[in-house]
Amino acid sequence: MARKKGLAGLSLGDLAARVGMRVPSLYSYFGSKHDIYDAMFAQGNDQFLQHIRARRVGLPAEPRARLRATFHTYFDFCTQDPVRYQLLFQRTIPGFEPSPGSYAKAVEALRLFREDLADVGLVGDQQDEDLLTALSTGLVSQQMANDPGGERWARLIDVVADMAYEHVTNKQRAQRGDPP
């Protein structure tokens, strides 16, 4: 239903009718509409964790290739389902905040991202992590906003990953005092 009408268009009346219930009966399963969003948030993060874990098998050991693969993993997952992307990675529902249990799944996904990049020495500090997430999320946002279902920004994944790789590794060399 959210895929048809958007997250904000999700109505308890429509949901109840779809599952053959009346709205008051939904409250025996969910305390509020935000509880439904929370269940969707948890389910989406479970799907994201499955996607990450499936793609981790056979990740390249070479750092540049690892970063490219990580960007592709995120991009592919996000562009498969724009509504799920909005729920998991944007703040589109006023007043919605995931429960600690649901949010823990998102934190686990971020931990796996950090681990994959730390394994090849690519994340040294918060600024590096912020840069990498901003770049990968920017590609996804541009793709969905300007060429849904196309490849305009998908074609840039490796270019952007390479730019980020160069920036992070040059910064690390400078911090160690290595010659340019």
pLDDT grade for 22, boundaries at 50, 70 and 90 = confident
Q: What angle do CA 128, 53, 58 make, to 5 degrees?
A: 85
* d(C-alpha 76, C-alpha 60), whole Å: 17
CB of 49 closer than 8 Å to CB of 73: no
pLDDT of residue 85: 95
Domain range summary for the chain, segments of one domain joined by +? 1-31, 40-176
Rg of the chain over CA atoms, in angstroms?
Answer: 19
The model's pTM: 0.88
Determine phi and psi for 166, rounding to 5 degrees. Answer: -60, -45
Alpha-helix residue ranges (DSSP H) falling in the chain: 2-5, 12-18, 23-26, 33-56, 63-80, 82-89, 100-118, 126-146, 157-176
pLDDT of residue 24: 78
Residues 104, 108, 113, 114, Cα dihedral to 10°: 90
pLDDT of residue 175: 87
Residue 29 three-state SS = coil
* Tokens 């981790």 found at: 56
For residue range 50-104, list pLDDT tens digits in order: 999 999 888 898 999 999 999 999 999 999 999 999 999 998 898 999 999 999 9
Q: Is 29 exposed, middle or buried (CB count within 10 Å of its CB: 0-12, 13-18, 19+)?
A: exposed
pLDDT of residue 124: 67
